[in-house]
A and B are shown apart, each in its own frame.
Chain A
Amino acid sequence: MICYQCGCTLSEHNFCTNCGADVALYKRIIYISNRFYNDGLERASVRDLTGAITSLRQSLKFDKNNVEARNLLGLVYFETGEVVAALSEWVISKNLRPKKNIADDYIDMIQTNQNRLDTINQTIKKYNQALTYCNQDSLDLAVIQLKKVLSLNPKFIRAHQLLALLYINSEEWERAKRELSKCLEIDTNNTATLRYLKEVDEMLMPEEGVKTTTKKQKKSEEIVKYQSGNETIIQPVNMKEGKGVTSLLNLGIGLAIGIAIAFFLILPARIQSAKANIDEELRKVSEQSDAKTATIDELQQQLNELTEANSNLEQDLSAYMGTDGTLRSVDSLMKAADTYLTNPEEVTVVADYLEEIEADAAESESDNSEAFESLYNTLLALVGPGIAESYYNDGYEAYRQENYEDAIPNLEKAFQYDATNGEALYNLANAYYRVGDMEKARETYLQIIQLFPGTEKASKSETFLEEMENEIQD
């Protein structure tokens, strides 16, 4: 015990040996507090929790620093299901004595287990909800809610009492008594519990009295007593009849009820379970399908990209092909130049190379360099007349032999390489005329008249043209 003034430890004297303060009254107060604590402890040990709460509160009213009383009060509150009140007491106790305090263990016990704490909170919320239902006159809902509360916290006395009160209100005396008995198992001297129990017992006792008397009467009716000399003979009036048919009937009814239960209760549950499984499977399949669809989309996108890349590559390839064609033209030109320089007589070979260049130029339609064009034109100017003469000789020989099919291309080439060769053009026109290609023949005659006016070939061409027109008119 310490002095209230200076905090010094007190001796057996009625004054503080340190500061001299009068502590007689103070000591008395502390003694009373301890006395109430002892009383509370005794009551708690015989499960008179209500009495213990009262004594311990008194103890704390005298000395708020009585940590033992406060801890015990918290423990008693916890036992009655009042967890928050218990926590409050333990927290205050811990603040009063931070070290070597058992309240620390109690708080840890609750706070370290989060699930337990959640359950406690749920219990309290449900109890409050039940109380709200009661006030709203939804007593059935309140009963359901309280049953849930008690399944979570079977020591919650107030919930038991409220449930018992609801049962009393609905005149379900047996149930009320059961709840009140549970209350008494936890707290033996709770005033409210005892009051409710008295009411319930009063309502139950008359019925039991009636039941017992009627049973006795029935028993007395079922037997016949009479004196035979000194002996009392007891004879049953109604002998028990055989119950075979009844048993079979009951068995049949039971069987029918069992089948009905299986059909109406078990079967729907099984169907529900199967449906749930199917739904689950369907969900999984759906998820897989979605994943595959996403993969397909991705692959399709990749395919499109690859197709586009392929297209670009093909374009590049065609571009390279063009380059290759150009190179081939250059190669042909080089060969033509080489052939002409090494053997100028081989005009036909040179002509072949030049024709290849022309064909490539027509295919690739690409522009050649100025040097290329210059060399090509120079070469053409050098070998052109020779080539033209060669083609003309071959063409004219074929024409003379009336082999117009061979004559036409040779004569065309001859005029191509030597535009001054009017004879080649005239013979070409005649060859067209001979093979019946009147259109080409007409064009070629007109070309002769235009290119070589005043010559004999021009006048002959005019004559042919007139003949052709006459033939058409005829």
Chain B
Amino acid sequence: MINFEEELKKFHPSLEVEDAEEAIYNQDLTDMADLMVKIVKDAKKVEEE
């Protein structure tokens, strides 16, 4: 049986057009490739030390 109150909590306000800019800026764009590059760089540093 669906619990109305619980289900309602799953609905969140939709972003308005005015908020689009802020949403774009706040988006976390770090990907696996970035992580890999960072790991490689860190490993190189350790090797150099």
Chain A contact residues, CB within 8 Å of chain B: 4-5, 21-22, 25-26, 29-30, 32-33, 60-65, 82-85, 87-88, 91-92, 117, 120-121, 124-125, 127-128, 131, 134-135, 158, 161-162, 165, 168-169, 192, 195-196, 199
Contact = CB atoms under 8 A, between A and B. Distances in A.
A162 B29 contact: no
Nearest to B13: A128
Query: Interface majority SS on A: helix, strand, loop or mixed?
Result: helix
A55 to B, nearest CB: 15
B4 A84 contact: no
Contact of B32 (A61, A91, A127, A199): A61
Interface in B1-49: 1-2, 4, 7-8, 10-20, 23-24, 27, 29-34, 36-37, 40
Contact of B27 (A22, A83, A92, A125): A92
A191 B27 CA distance: 25
Contact of B2 (A65, A91, A165): A165
Contact of A168 (B4, B13, B34): B4
A88 B28 CA distance: 12
Nearest to A142: B8
A388 to B, nearest CB: 114
Contacts of B29: 64, 92
A84 B19 contact: yes
B31 A125 contact: no
B33 A199 contact: no
Contact of A131 (B13, B20, B24, B32): B13
A128 B8 CA distance: 13
Contacts of A30: 33
A33 B33 CA distance: 10
Contacts of A87: 17, 20
A84 B14 contact: yes
A62 B37 CA distance: 12
B8 A134 contact: yes
Contacts of A33: 32
A109 to B, nearest CB: 14
A192 B32 contact: no
Contacts of B12: 131
A124 B31 contact: no
Contacts of A161: 11
Given A29-B36, A165-B7, 8 more contacts: A4-B37, A33-B32, A63-B33, A64-B31, A121-B16, A131-B13, A165-B2, A165-B11
Nearest to A95: B24
